[in-house]
Amino acid sequence: MALSQAPSQAVSEDRLWNRHMALARHGATPRGGVNRQALSAEDIEARRTMVGWARDIGCSVFGDELGNFFIRLEGSRPDLPPVLTGSHLDSQPTGGKFDGVYGVLAGFEVLQAIRDTGQVPRRSIEVVAWMNEEGSRFAPGMMGSAGFAGVRSVDEIIAVHDARQQSVAESLAELALALPDVPMRPLCTPVHSYIEAHIEQAPVLEAHGVPIGVVTGIQGKRTFRVTVTGEESHAGTTPHRRRRDALLSATGMVQALERQCFDPLDITRFTVGMFRVEPNAPSVIPAKVTFSIDIRHESSARLVELGDAVTPLCLAHAGPCEVRVEELSTAMSLEFPESIRSEIEAAASRLGLGHMRLLSAAGHDARYLNDHCETGMIFVPCLKGVSHHESESATPADLIAGARVLAEVVWARANDAD
Query: By the criterion CB under 6 A, which residues form the site for ligand GLV?
Result: 134, 362-363
In the complex, the smallest distance separating the C-beta of residue 95 from Mn ion, rounded to whole angstroms, is 7
Residues in the interface with Mn ion (CB under 5 A) total 2
The item of ligand GLV, Mn ion, none sharing an interface with residue 27, based on CB under 5 to 8 Å by kind, is none
H helices present in 231-319, as ranges? 246-261, 300-308, 310-316
In the complex, the smallest distance separating the C-beta of residue 287 from ligand GLV, rounded to whole angstroms, is 30
CB closer to ligand GLV out of 103 and 363: 363
CB closer to ligand GLV out of 27 and 75: 27
Sequence-distant (6+) residues with CB within 8 A of 323 are 226, 227, 228, 229, 249, 253, 314, 315
Whole-angstrom Cα distance, residue 282 to residue 299? 43
CB closer to Mn ion out of 82 and 100: 100
CB closer to ligand GLV out of 136 and 227: 136
In the complex, the smallest distance separating the C-beta of residue 93 from Mn ion, rounded to whole angstroms, is 11
CB contact at 8 A, 382 and 200: yes
CB contact at 8 A, 328 and 223: yes
Whole-angstrom Cα distance, residue 38 to residue 60? 23
CB contact at 8 A, 292 and 141: no
CB closer to ligand GLV out of 16 and 362: 362
The string of DSSP letters for 29-41 reads -TTS-B---TTSH
Give helix 101-117 / helix 396-414 axis angle, nearest 10°: 60
In the complex, the smallest distance separating the C-beta of residue 134 from ligand GLV, rounded to whole angstroms, is 5
Site for Mn ion in 387-416 (CB under 5 A): none
x-or-dash string of contact with Mn ion, 87-126, rule CB under 5 A: ------------xx--------------------------
Alpha-carbon separation of residue 241 from 201, 244, 305, 319, 320 (angstroms): 48, 9, 35, 11, 10
The item of Mn ion, ligand GLV, none sharing an interface with residue 376, based on CB under 5 to 8 Å by kind, is none
In the complex, the smallest distance separating the C-beta of residue 72 from ligand GLV, rounded to whole angstroms, is 26
CA angle 395, 397, 398 (to 5 degrees): 70
The item of ligand GLV, Mn ion, none sharing an interface with residue 215, based on CB under 5 to 8 Å by kind, is none
- Bridging pattern class, strands 69-73 and 60-63: antiparallel
Residue nearest to ligand GLV (CB): 363
CB closer to Mn ion out of 99 and 398: 99
In the complex, the smallest distance separating the C-beta of residue 77 from ligand GLV, rounded to whole angstroms, is 35
The residue ranges that bind Mn ion (CB under 5 A) are: 99-100
